Amino acid sequence: MGAPNLNTTTTTVIPPFTLSSPAGTDIWRKPPTTNVFTAPLHPSAPPTIPLKSFVSARLSFVLPPTSQLRQYDQAGLLLRFTKPGLDPSKSKWIKTGIEFYYGKPYVSTVGCDTWADWSIVPSEVDAEGRPGATIEARREEDGLGKSLWVYWVTKGEDGKEELRPVRELTWVFAEEEGWEVGVAGLVARPTTEGGEGELRAEFGGIEVVALKE
């Protein structure tokens, strides 16, 4: 799917913000009974748009230096899919960003339709040892159908922006009528091992592009 004409889209910008999370928070759903949605979000109650209008969402952020991180510390972009009358515990969602796993930062994507799954790609740190990323989730379409692609946005040697494909999720647009999507930044510190200290991340803002109604 090519880039929509700017005359047919509208862009909503959420200004830069910081977000902190206490220990013991997460967004995760795993059989047979785990269903957790306790991570702090910004906006705390994300405004929604019709899923059929969603084009893309982009977010930039940075975590503290790796020396201050613990297992499963994470921050990034959340897309939550809801439908009027649907039990909130059965909402669908995607979270993608950086997750700290066995001493290293990874670009992490978790997709939850009925249950959640997880994929990770080795990441990088800045000159101060802080992991961070720019992530974009984008609607795309090809000869086989529609999907949502997650990209890790980097700069090439020539300084030009590069979209590094991280994950394709094919179920997102399988049923669009009546569904809505909310977009937010998230921070989570799932483990309490290491104390009750908070995890704090700095975000460069969020951009959401949608088709005009």
Asked if residue 75 lies in contact with residue 185, where contact means CB atoms within 8 angstroms, the answer is yes
Mean pLDDT (whole number) for 114-118: 96
Residue 76 Ramachandran class (φ > 0 left, ψ -120 to 50 alpha, else beta): left
What single DSSP character describes residue 24?
Answer: S
Q: Is the pLDDT of residue 3 over 70?
A: no
Question: Which DSSP helix (H) or strand (E) runs through 133?
Answer: strand 132-142
What pLDDT is attached to residue 23? 97
* Percent share of the chain, pLDDT over 90: 90
The residue among 129, 110, 130, 112 whose CA lies nearest residue 121 is 110
Q: Nearest-5° angle of CA 153, CA 113, CA 12? A: 45
Asked if residue 179 lies in contact with residue 51, where contact means CB atoms within 8 angstroms, the answer is yes
pLDDT in tens, 58-74: 999 999 999 999 999 99
Where in the chain are the domains?
16-211
Q: Is the pLDDT of residue 174 over 80?
A: yes
pLDDT in tens, 120-164: 999 999 999 999 999 999 999 999 999 999 999 998 888 899 999
Q: Is the pLDDT of residue 4 over 70?
A: no
pLDDT in tens, 184-194: 999 999 999 88
CA distance 187 to 39: 6
Q: Which CATH architecture has domain 16-211?
A: Sandwich (2.60)
